[in-house]
Structure 1
Amino acid sequence: MSKHQVRMDNRELLEIEGVIEVINFSDEQISLATELGPLLILGEDLNIQQLNLDNGELIVDGYINGLDYSQDDNGDGILSNLFK
């Protein structure tokens, strides 16, 4: 498993490592597949400032209201489904 890190500065800048894919995004939410499973970023005026999937890096600015990690229906993360 690759490294997964999340760094936030004053709820206005979010840097994430271990991003596999951006599934969906708007100015209020960004849905990601990460090394640790699905991640939903909630906020206001969200903007993807930088995305490098080769390195698994994502930088988001805006006002961050929350981060929500989830699992799929059977309790496994997204990576377990990829390798079945």
Structure 2
Amino acid sequence: MPELQRTIKKHSLTIDGREKLTATGIKRVDFFSDELITAQTDLGQLNIKGEALHIETLNSETGDMLVSGKVAAVSYTESNPAMSFFGRLFK
């Protein structure tokens, strides 16, 4: 059987004057508030912290996202595949 290869979306991040953040390669947004936005990329979870954050545009087909507000910090968390109950038990 041929192996299925998953294509990785190209991911980029641009911050303009800490007031506008443009990200590409966004798979989905998991959480958003005016102080925190968490989004999934193929490279891990993207965490955006700040004040008065607002998602201006989010295109699920292209993976483009535009955020406005005062950006204070951006970080990534490695995303590991979710383990089953027995996988966690026998870890």
Aligned residue identity for 1:18: G
Q: For residue 51 of structure 2, what is the aligned residue in structure 1?
A: 44
Give runs of ≥4 in structure 1 deviating > 4 Å: none
Structure 1 residues not aligned, in runs of 5+: 72-76
Q: TM-score, normalised by structure 1?
A: 0.84
Structure 1 vs Structure 2 CA RMSD: 1.2
Aligned residues: 75
Aligned residue identity for 2:65: L
Q: 1:25 aligns with which of 5, 8, 32?
A: 32
Q: TM-score, normalised by structure 2?
A: 0.78
Matches within 5 A, 1:1-84: 1-71=8-78, 77-78=79-80, 81=81
- Structure whose CA Rg is larger: 2
Counterpart CA distance in 1 for 2:53 and 2:42 is: 22
Q: For residue 86 of structure 2, what is the aligned residue in structure 1?
A: none
Structure 2 residues not aligned, in runs of 5+: 1-7, 83-91
Structure 1 residue 2 displacement after superposition: 1.4
Q: What are the Cα deviations for residues 8-60 of structure 1, in whole angstroms up to 9, with x where unaligned?
A: 10000000000000000000000100121101100000000000010001000
Structure 1 vs Structure 2: percent identity of aligned residues? 37
